[in-house]
Amino acid sequence: MPKKSTNVDMTAMCDVAFLLLTFFMLATQFKPDEPVTVTTPNSISEVPLPDADIMLITVDPDGRIFFSIDNQNVRNDLITKLDEQKGLNLTAEEKNNFIIGASVGVPFSQLKSYLAASVDEKAKLDKSAPGIPTDTVVTSEKNELALWIKEARYSNPKLRITIKADAKASYPDIKEVISTLEGWKIFKFSLITGLKAVPPGTAAYEESMGGMKSE
């Protein structure tokens, strides 16, 4: 019996591997780096998060509030305005750090030192950050979140407001955020949730089944 070669031609496999690689490279959207990990609760809602014009208010399990908006131009606008209003004396570099950075969760008094910090230091600061101070009254001097929201809305009026809160966050913390939004006459906003299946035998289940039948 002739000895057969065990050499396999790898070309085909290589082709497939790179095809998949190209697909994933193009389809990928990197997870935005979050200062805190938040486990959202689940709901049956299937409305996807829009791609652009989002204001994200993150609430972590301890009730700390982080603020972020998505567009870099808007971020630029926002930090310039806040710098003037609050007299933060930010340098161009610190402003740039804000523009390219992620969510911010420090009071205005600490904002300058936070933005001046290096990436590693920031990660540490995020762990100890007190979060953006809020209050139930929108006009209160203490309510810095209110100012963030107001200025962000001036910078981009189309902003869609989303709240991403941890399932373990306590209600009064959420209530403060909602009251602040209500104070600015924002009554429509979105809560970010995970997806769970519609329980059978309920009104929503029948509706989803009915919708499928009529198609």
Partner 1 sequence: MAEMEVADKGGKKGPGVKKSKKLSTRVDLTPMVDLGFLLITFFMMTTTLNKPKTMEINMPYKDDEEVIEDETKIKESTALTILLSKKHRVYYYEGMATDPENTPEVHVTTFKPEKGIRDVIIDKKNKVEDLKRRGALNEKDKTTILIKPDTNSTYDDLVSMLDEMAINDIRVYAIVDITDVDREFISETENANPGN
16-45 residues in contact with partner 1 (CB under 8 A) are 17-18, 20-21, 24-25, 27-31, 40-45
Rounded to whole angstroms, the maximal C-alpha distance in the chain is 91
Contacts of 153 by beta carbon, 8 Å cutoff, 6+ apart: 55, 159, 184
Compute how many residues bind partner 1; rule: CB under 8 A: 59
| Only segment of 5-13, 68-76, 93-101, 113-121 that touches partner 1 (CB under 8 A) | 5-13
Beta bridge partners of 161: 55
168 lines the binding site for partner 1 (CB under 8 A): yes
Report which of 59, 205, 47, 169 is spatially closest to residue 68, judged by C-alpha positions.
59
Would you say 121 or 207 has its CB closer to partner 1? Answer: 207
Q: Which amino acid, one-letter code, is at 41?
A: P
CA 152, 154, 158, 161 torsion-angle sign = positive
Q: Which residue from 3, 5, 10, 215 is in contact with partner 1, where contact means CB under 8 A?
A: 10
Q: Which residue from 72, 73, 91, 170 is in contact with partner 1, where contact means CB under 8 A?
A: 170
Q: Torsions phi, psi of 72, nearest 5?
A: -65, -30
Q: Which residues contact partner 1 (rule: CB under 8 A)?
A: 9-11, 13-14, 17-18, 20-21, 24-25, 27-31, 40-49, 59, 162, 164-175, 178, 181-182, 187-195, 198-199, 202-205, 207
